[in-house]
Structure 1
Amino acid sequence: MTSDPCYLFTYGTLMRGFSNPFAEKLHALSSYEGKGYFNGLLYRITWYPGAIYEEKSDSKVYGEIYRLTPGTELIKDLDEYEDVFEDEAASLYVRRVVPVTTESKSVIPCWVYLYNQPVKDCALLSDGLFRG
């Protein structure tokens, strides 16, 4: 997998149907490629979700795939939205490359914001879908 993919996978408030300035910016500066999933667990943190990637998990996290437009500041802005900091221990999320399975069953490397804090008191969304 490349360390700088041109795709972003979203599973929460950046998906279509959510109204916030960062979702609007993502949709304006990228192209929607379809739905997909990765192996892992999805939790309701509060009003937003958090996903944990687990390569060998039977559980899946479902969401949307976007092709990023080159030459934009989009990732920098989304890092700010997701509270990604230089000090990873203080970050709410970390941005990682994860293999995402598309609707056509191909696998592509995507940037994904993975939750970076304890989830022991958070509700597991066992169907892997965040609905708001």
Structure 2
Amino acid sequence: MSEYLFTYGTLMKGFDNPFARILQDASEYAGDGHFPGLLYLVSWYPGAVYLEQNPSKVYGEIYKLSEQKELLKQLDEYEDVFEDEKESLYLRKVVPVTRTDGKIIHCWAYLYNQQVHDLPVIPEGDFKKISL
């Protein structure tokens, strides 16, 4: 369990959607960070895969959650997390995220849970660089 959430896509600051606003209203921005893995362009949104030994990084934002249980329930709905993991678009997992100051924080992250072999990789691992 964690009281932090790492976002790397449409939940980050600068994205205009109701769930990004809900997250920002119900949490405190705790800095930028990254985890080892690959970031794919799924459609108008990205999907990240955590790969512990990968030299590539996925970049995003860390939030400290206040109303954690209710907020995560709403975000699970947004991210298509279902009881049957095989049907879920994303899975919410705790991963170690390195903040820009070097501190490691274990954060919830929505990791992509579908096939990636036909998806383009976002080269720099930063969705904001291709979308804003």
TM-score by length of 1: 0.95
Structure 1, unaligned runs of 5 or more:
none
- Decide which of 113, 117, 123 is 2:110's aligned counterpart: 113
Report the secondary structure of 2:86's partner residue.
helix
For residues 95 and 14 of structure 1, the distance between their equivalents in structure 2, rounded to whole angstroms, comes to 14
One-letter identity of the residue aligned with 2:79: E
Pick one of 79, 90, 93 that aligns with 2:90: 93
- What's 1:79 paired with? 76
- Runs of at least 4 residues off by over 3 Å: none
Q: 1:18 aligns with which of 15, 28, 36?
A: 15
User: Which whole-Å CA distance do the structure 2 matches of 1:71 and 1:43 have between them?
Assistant: 27
Structure 1 residues 59-98: Cα deviation after superposition (integer angstroms, max 9, x where no partner)? 0000000000045510000000000000000000000000
Letter of the structure 1 residue corresponding to residue 123 of structure 2: S
> 1:33 is aligned with what amino acid?
A
What is the match of residue 24 of structure 2? 27
RMSD of Structure 2 on Structure 1 (CA): 0.9
Residue 121 of structure 1: how far off its partner (Å): 1.2
Deviation string 1:95-132 (CA, Å, 9 cap, x unpaired) is: 00000000110101000000000011111011000022
| Rounded Cα–Cα distance in structure 2 between residues aligned with 1:107 and 1:49 | 23
- By percentage of residues, which structure has more helix? 2
* Alignment partner of 1:49 is 2:46: yes
Q: Call closer, same or farther: CA 1:71–1:57 in 2, change over 3 Å.
A: closer
Measure, in 1, the Cα distance between the counterparts of 2:49 and 2:41: 12
Q: How many residues align?
A: 129
Contact 2:3 2:68 in 1 (8 A): no
Unpaired runs of 5+ in structure 2?
none
In the superposition, the TM-score normalised over structure 2's length comes to 0.95
Judged with a 3 Å threshold, the aligned counterparts in structure 2 of structure 1 residues 48 and 70 are, in CA distance, closer, same or farther, namely: same
Letter aligned with residue 118 of structure 1:
Q
